[in-house]
Each structure stands twice: as structure tokens, then as C-alpha cells.
Amino acid sequence: MASPVAASGRPQYRMLIDGAWVEAAGGATFESENPYLGSAWAEIPRAGSEDVERAVSAAHKAFKSPAWAGLTPSARGLLLCRLAERIAEEAERLAEIETRDNGKLITEMRAQLRYIPQWFHYFGGLADKVEGRVIPIDKPGMINFTREEPLGVVVAITPWNSPLMLATWKLAPALAAGNTIVWKPSEYSSVSALEFGKLFEEVGFPPGVVNIVTGFGSEIGEALVTHPRVAKVAFTGGDVTGQRVYESAARHIKPVTLELGGKSANIVFSDAELDNAVRGVVSGIFAATGQTCIAGSRALVQRSIHDEFVEKLVALGRTARMGDPLLDTTQVGPITTRPQFAKVLDYVEVAKTEGATCVLGGGKAERPECGNGWFVEPTVFTNVTPSMRIAQEEVFGPVLSIIPFDDEDEAVAIANNTQYGLAAGVWTQSIRTAFELSEKLEAGTVWVNTYRATSYLSPFGGYKRSGIGRESGLTAIREYLQEKSVWIDTIGQVANPFVQR
């Protein structure tokens, strides 16, 4: 990456197209801000439609090139495994960049960077285990078998909250399957993507196989999604943007994977280990400052333990250490973007206006250790009813709504009563309740006596408005393949040309 320093004195990044580090064709740039300092820290190319064209053409050319298409699946897999090793070597540096760029805790980003190589190892290993089938076809003298083929150019569009992890969930299976990539990271967290991009080059991915285009979704999103040479769109972000992406892709009959938002319920039964459940609920909503799609933003608490639970939760929430996300000791960091900061504070006001009772936090954090950063106090509302906006809409911040329930049926009814279905948590000592709820909850993931566990081995995705398709696990590679049915006639005679065989 040339021009490491811009006239402003900040690092000046370039984006990756066809193996070259380039500026936007129009020369435009934008600033990336550090949410803890509340100021710009890097300059990024602001891509336009010409850059989209360049990147998609490069990816399309690479898809057809002998350097990529000619690789055996084993050789492709090896590249992914080599990449995993390089990421592991660079994990600490990349984690620090993510924290500067998106304000998430260094402890969280470090953990994610430690996990990311697992996805590349796993899908690298899977690359040469994708097999077709031989069908015992019902026609004499005919062989029928299937081939699993890559789709072509995959556009990956990612959000700011876990930039490299969420991109990895797309890139690892898509590349293992033999596709090529145009990746557009969030305009709020592009720096780590550009640093990550260097590693693909270093381990020997051919030019054009992975391209990174930086810029604003509102300016280049539509061009990427609708480009005729793009075969598939893999999107993670908000449901409103996801809907727009889906509609645009539908006009061009393109497959999509959508990983969208949630309003996940953490359901605490009276027989739960209470202290454990309190810690679980806190980890679900405050640990990532609530900026995670799987935030357990609703705690449904059985009425008989409601008051005791709230007391313990508030006591623990009050101890949360806020401040510099680069410090290992910080527990709650800033909100990543200025608009999101305003949105979270708006929701706090909405909840108050709706009649919910604020029992913790409830506004901007003014603590000295928060400096000029965009901090919101860990906030808890009680007296929330299921129809309130605070119980229905995704806040994406450290704001928890507590809703009481009487019995299992009511808990399930409240939990399922949102348009989302990403995840749910159940806290109980009863194996019967655990099984029953795992079946009845409309969510792509159900955790029992734990929360926020994910793995490269296990499928992840949403029910209802939380998304389409699955990431991670064996089946995820199918999202990036298409099945071809091949028929071979071994008799060698076309019997009656006017009758279908």
C-alpha cells in the first residue's frame, strides 16, 4: 500500500483491485473515525461506480483464469490454510486496528482474531471434500451424476461490528468453493479489511481472486448488487438494508445470503442458577456494548424471581468498567458510529416516553474515563410490555428490556412475538424445559445456560426477518455452490426423437 501518510498526517489507505493497491478512480477519500477518541484516524478511498466495474471485472477475469480455476480443490484449500497461519501471526496487530476503527473491546477483537483462522482451516480442509452424487437413474443405459460448481463472482457486504469475523464467515466458504470475491466492508470499519487484504496476496492468492472496494453503501451498494457479472450477494447488516439488497438482487434473479438483525430473548426460569443467569444476560447485552446481532436485548424473567433478578442484574451492571477499549480491563466500550450513538440515545428516550422504568443508566456516559468518546451508560428498563417499541425494534446498543412472564407458554409467546428470529437464550435446570423451548423458539440459534457461543462447526443464521441462509458448519459451503446434473447415454442411439426419454 503506497502513500502511507495523507496531507492530514493520517495514514492513507488504498483499496485492492486486481492485485493492485489503488486509489478510487475519482480520487475521492473519506475519513475513518476512532469512536473512543471521537476523531478521524485514517483516510480511505471512496469508491464510485467505475471502481465497482474494475473490481467486478477483475474478479470475473480471475474466476475464469487458469491461475485460479485451474487449481485443484486441494491446492485451493492449501491456500486457505496458509492464510489461516498468516492471520494467526498477525492476530494481535489486526485486533488492535479493529479496536481503533470500531471501538469494540480489544479483549473481544483479540478473541475474534484468534477464532478467525479456524474458519479458514476448516473450509480449507473442506475444499476437496465437496463431492457430487451418482444417481441410480431409472433409465436403462444412462449414467446420471452431479457436479458441485462454484457460482462465479461473489459480492460480500459486511457491517462494522465484527468486521473481519463476519467477512471470514463469507470469504472462507466462498473461496473454498472456488468463487472469486468483491468485498465491500462497512464505511465505518474499512481499515482492518485493507490490512487483512495484504495477507491474501502474501500467501499466494492470484490477483483478482479477492478484491476490496471501500466506500459508502448508499453510493456503490446498488451497483455491486445489480452488476450483471455478480453471481451472488452475501450480506450482513441491518434488516432494512438487507431488504433493499434482496429486492435489488431479485430484479436480477441473483441468490443472496442475508444475515440481519435481531431482538433476541434471554429467558430466565425460576429454577435457573440465578447468579449464572444474571452473568449470562449481562454478557448478552453489555459485553459488546450491545453492538452484536445476537444481543440478548430482551430478558424475559419468570415473575416469581423478577425482583431478585433485577436487583442482582443492576448490581452487576453497575460495576461495568467503561473507558478506553484498548485497555484489557475495560468492559464496556463506546458506540462505533456517530449516527448509531444518536440512535441508541433516541431509543432510550422512546422507552421512557412509552412508560418503561429505567433502573440503570439511561443516557450518555459522562464519566471522565470516557473522554470524548461516544459512550452510552449500560441501561436497563423494567415495566416493559411486549408491544413497546423498545421490546420490538433492534437498538444495537447497551440497552436491555426486562419483561416478566408467568409460565412457559407465555415465555414462548412473548419470545416469538417479534419480526426477528436470530437467537434465544434459555436459563433453566430442567432438561424438559430446555428441550421444549429449543423446539418452540423461532430462532436460528438457541442457547441453554450459555449465550453468544459460536463456532466454525455450527450453522448460524436467522429465522423470519433475521435472514436467509446459513453461515459456518458443513452446509455453509453449499451457499456458494450450484449443483449440475450430468446425463450420459451409454447406448449411443437416439431411439425416437419425438418422444422424451
Binding site residues, ligand NAD, CB under 6 A: 157-161, 166, 184, 186-187, 216-218, 221-222, 225, 236-238, 241, 244-245, 259-262, 293, 394, 396, 422, 462, 467
Question: Which CB, 398 or 467, lies closer to ligand NAD?
Answer: 467
| Residue (77 or 237) nearer to ligand NAD, CB | 237
Q: Minimum Å distance from CB 188 to ligand NAD?
A: 7
Whether 436 sits among the annotated catalytic residues: the reply is: no
Residue 259, classified by CB atoms within 10 Å of its CB into exposed (0-12), middle (13-18) or buried (19+), is buried
Angle between helices 73-102 and 163-176 (to 10 degrees): 170
- C-beta of 222: minimal distance to ligand NAD in Å? 5
Distance separating alpha carbons of residues 156 and 212, to the nearest angstrom: 9
C-alpha distances in Å from residue 389, one per residue of 352, 385, 401: 11, 9, 10
At its nearest, how many Å lie between ligand NAD and the CB of residue 102? 10
> CA 237, CA 262: separation in Å to the nearest integer?
11
User: Buried b vs exposed e over 115-126: b needs ≥16 C-beta within 10 Å?
Assistant: ebbbbbbbbbbb
402: Cα separation from own chain's centroid: 26
Dihedral Cα 366, 294, 238, 418, nearest 10 deg: -110
Nearer to ligand NAD, 226 or 383 (CB): 226
| Residues paired with 11 in a beta bridge | 5
Number of H helices, E strands in the chain: 14, 22
Active-site pick, 43, 187, 293, 471: 293
Q: Least Å distance between CB 460 and ligand NAD?
A: 7
**Nearer of residues 107 and 161 to ligand NAD, judged by Cβ:** 161
Specify the residue, 187 or 324, whose C-beta has the smaller distance to ligand NAD. Answer: 187
Report whether 304 contacts 270 (CB < 8 A).
Answer: yes
**SS3 of 403, please?**
strand
Per the annotation, the verdict on 293 as an active-site residue is yes
Min separation Cβ 336 and ligand NAD, Å:
8
Catalytic positions are 259, 293
